[in-house]
Amino acid sequence: MEKTNVINSPDNTCNWKLLNATTLKLLAVVLMFLDHIHQMFVSVGAPIWLTMAGRLVFPIFLFAASESFHYTHNKKKYLQRLLFASWGMTVFTFVLQKVLPNDNVVLMNNAFSTFFVAGLYMLFWDKLVEGIRDRKPMQAVKAILFCFIPVLCALPLLFVAALSYNENIPFAVIRMLVTLSLLIPNILAVEGGAALVVLGLAFYIFRKHRVIQILVLLIFSAAVYVVDRDFQWMMCFAAIPIALYNGERGRGMKNFFYIFYPLHIGVLYIISTLFCS
């Protein structure tokens, strides 16, 4: 995540707003670690509460990403960093599973792809708002058309999915093609699904209205509960740390988050493969 500046608003005078951007993301890191312990060790009885706690992770990180994207000085560089991280994560998990197969764990972890696609839509939103504000209809139209790019980027993956029904094509070939397709971030293949991209964009659109941001999160959580009835609805509890955010940057620690994510997944996967499979 990028560093954010202090938000100069009356809300920052509230003593109960205890979390800055860094502490907010560190909280998400702890919960993420617990969630991935469950992912890697569920076959040997990892308790379900670990993954319940992990339901808060994506909303917190997406909220932090909306703040980061607004304040970053170079939005294109920010997106490039996420794109490179997404490519690296895809290659890393593919190679790791190739070298150390584990029938109990399938690594589909790539939150960088979710943040990248969400960031694209934040950029498109900025361009749309600028076009409307500056009375440049063509810019506004282009921004709307750009929204289809992450959807069209899913076509290679859909093509590979169709090929998978052909019994004459070896599974290893299909798997390689899937990995190559995932190098093209698209809204259909991001971790957590397209709904999380929409949630991230909503956080960005309403970033000056904390109450609306939290309301959107609660609505998303309720919709998930109605549709799936799984643990994902528990992401509504991310509203608590989001409400406690004071708008300050904190120490930043940008590189830590880029390094810790693949590192802890790799270490947990290796331990699970060597000792639990």
Return the HEC string of 51-116: HHHHHHHHHHHHHHHHHHHHHCCCHHHHHHHHHHHHHHHHHHHHHHHHHCCCCCCCCCCCHHHHHH
pLDDT of residue 139: 93
Which pLDDT score is estimated for 137?
92
Residue 272 lies in a domain: yes
* pLDDT tens digits, one per residue of 143-184: 999 999 999 999 988 898 888 888 888 888 888 888 888 888
Q: Do the Cβ atoms of 35 and 57 come closer than 8 Å? A: yes
Distance (Å, rounded) from C-alpha 79 to C-alpha 120? 7
* Residue 82 in domain: yes
**Assigned domain for 5 exists:** no
Per-residue pLDDT tens over the stretch 14-50: 677 789 999 999 999 999 999 999 999 999 999 999 9
- The yes-or-no verdict on residue 277 having pLDDT over 70 is no
Domain-embedded: residue 72: yes
- In a domain, residue 4? The reply is no
* Distance in angstroms between the alpha carbons of the first and the last residue of the chain: 34
pTM recorded for the entire structure: 0.89
User: Does residue 6 belong to any structural domain of this protein?
Assistant: no
Residue 92 in any domain: the answer is: yes
Is pLDDT at 65 greater than 90 in this prediction? Answer: yes
Which residue reads 């063509």 in tokens?
138
Q: What is the pLDDT of residue 18?
A: 86
**87 domain residue, yes or no:** yes
90 and 179 Cβ atoms separated by less than 8 Å: yes
Q: Which of the four pLDDT bands, split at 50, 70 and 90, describes residue 251?
A: confident
User: Is the Cα torsion angle 85, 89, 42, 224 positive or negative in sign?
Assistant: positive
Q: Distances in Å between the alpha carbon of 150 and those of 111, 129, 154, 246, 265?
A: 16, 20, 7, 33, 26
The two three-digit tokens of residue 51, written as one number: 């993954």
Domain count, the chain: 1
Report the distance separating Cα 237 and Cα 156, nearest Å.
36
Tokens 């069209």 locate to 152
**pLDDT confidence of residue 14:** 60
Q: Quote the domain boundaries for residue 41.
A: 12-276
